[in-house]
Structure 1
């Protein structure tokens, strides 16, 4: 069942009148911030503020500054375009205006600090579940937090997640390719919802559904004190993880490599790799390369 879409209101809320209208590209209308606030900023709910800006360098950087100034949990910042978006390992990327969802969420979790490593996994699980339910797209999760789809017979990256700790707060960023065309892809290994035939690509509909899903799963995770098993998070991630059961090379800091089979996640969300000698090693950070096709089930 998909999220009901609301009639789009006229006007250019949130945009200046200098420069091109955001309606110039009718395939990429602006987000409806008023509808999003009406539907998501509810008494007793997680979300407390939602701002949509036409352009910024990085929503994570902006929201981190707000967190340091004492902003409340539940603030969401969305940019129609990011000029200096950041991924893991401080990689930079950008995309055409209104071609995706580029947002950050300010969270102040009360779980034990050692369980905060599960937050990017929680963002990934909630995003994958939402896209499957709303858009009919099967999304896998490459460890630790890349969103993957199959396109042109191969695994492609649909989006990524970056979480950053600042004091007692966590800023969780999500970048999701929605309407990028083939010639607009930043690298040949990328994809977008439009390219894989998603049933729904309206960004207001998608964002509303994403934030609702995340709020629900985040509440369950908090209620379980961040326990990945008790909250169901470990099982949900394992079911969608495209890395488990694969032969991998993990590129580690310091130009080191670890080769073996990805066999499990440990209690801290680290990837457990079994080497050729049978020894198991848990990896907390690194780039993973899948060496063989995903095993088929059934």
Structure 2
């Protein structure tokens, strides 16, 4: 065997320096997911990048993408959430994936895409990782740690070229010391029976493909494809008294009573008004019984 140069040995040592966090197997993932008839047209895994959403959006703008392109990063240095919030996680401690979609449904119904991704992700994690999950409107995936709801994942949808880049970030093996904020969590801290990222990623993408196909077949109608029903069944926000912090430093309080046909959260306020909310931060003020995906 030809000895490796020192710099290559250093790279390999770094790649495997945390044996509890092995790298994703890109070839095996492509064999499982990129196949004739599949939604997924390509799948790339990169060691590190600023943001998978930004990378795919740039490639879409340059006309370099087909629908179903998947980009996964082992580490992100400039990951973004809603309201342009920044976050980071140790290498190979989570799933950081973006996909490019070009829905053939009325654009007015594209607002359901992040909620669709939430349903797909939550159900996949429940089945594959063996943890109870719930959704906090509009885009947070929750698990329970020490009898408290905590965020283990988030979803960000951004328009790009003729389609949408949909980003999903999940904390998988973060320890308590590695959490960015006390209200965060990871699948490991929630007692997941499986934290192998390869089957978790396969499950999330297959679930996303299923729900996206059902939604497209129904021309984006969330009631006809049962997306609206599925989201409501797993939503930890519905039935709670909440505070919605709205753009412009405004807020409104009320009981979250429904999702409307556009995916907006409907609040019943104390003065008897039912007010739809389409953007803002939601603070849960009182718990509701029976949340989540079993």
Q: Same fold (TM over 0.5)?
A: yes
* Structure 2 residue matching 1:119: 3-state secondary structure: helix
Which deviates the most, 94-103 or 209-218? 209-218
Which residue of structure 1 aligns with residue 15 of structure 2? 22
Q: Which runs of 5+ in 1 are unaligned?
A: 1-14
Q: Of the candidates 62, 67, 71, which is equivalent to residue 60 of structure 2?
A: 67
Which residue of structure 2 aligns with residue 126 of structure 1? 120
**Matching of residues 16-165 of structure 1 within 5 Å:** 18=11, 20-70=13-63, 71-165=65-159
The C-alpha deviation readout for 1:151-188, integer Å capped at 9, x for no partner, is: 11211001100000123210000000000000000000
Alpha-carbon separation, structure 1, partners of 2:161 and 2:23: 33
Alpha-carbon RMSD: 1.3
The C-alpha deviation readout for 1:179-238, integer Å capped at 9, x for no partner, is: 000000000000000011101110011001111111111101000000000011001000
**Change in 2 beyond 3 A, CA 1:16/1:87:** farther
Alpha-carbon separation, structure 2, partners of 1:20 and 1:191: 28
How far does residue 21 in structure 1 lie from its aligned partner after superposition?
Answer: 2.7
Which residue of structure 2 aligns with residue 277 of structure 1? 271
How far does residue 130 in structure 1 lie from its aligned partner after superposition?
Answer: 0.5
Contact 2:57 2:161 in 1 (8 A): no
The C-alpha deviation readout for 1:111-163, integer Å capped at 9, x for no partner, is: 10000000000100000000111111111000001000111121100110000
The C-alpha deviation readout for 1:51-98, integer Å capped at 9, x for no partner, is: 000000000000001111221000000000000000000000000000
**Change in 2 beyond 3 A, CA 1:16/1:116:** farther
2:248 is equivalent to residue 267 of structure 1: no
**Change in 2 beyond 3 A, CA 1:216/1:17:** farther
* Structure 1 residue matching 2:122: 3-state secondary structure: helix
Q: Which runs of 5+ in 2 are unaligned?
A: 1-7
Alpha-carbon separation, structure 1, partners of 2:211 and 2:287: 31
The C-alpha deviation readout for 1:16-60, integer Å capped at 9, x for no partner, is: 963743211111000000000011111121000000000000000
Contact 2:140 2:155 in 1 (8 A): yes
Which residue of structure 2 aligns with residue 10 of structure 1? none
Alpha-carbon separation, structure 1, partners of 2:56 and 2:9: 22
**Change in 2 beyond 3 A, CA 1:54/1:212:** same
TM-score, normalised by the number of residues in structure 2 = 0.94
TM-score, normalised by the number of residues in structure 1 = 0.93
Contact 1:159 1:175 in 2 (8 A): yes
**Change in 2 beyond 3 A, CA 1:88/1:16:** farther
Contact 1:246 1:295 in 2 (8 A): no
Which residue of structure 2 aligns with residue 192 of structure 1? 186
2:216 is equivalent to residue 222 of structure 1: yes
**Change in 2 beyond 3 A, CA 1:219/1:16:** farther
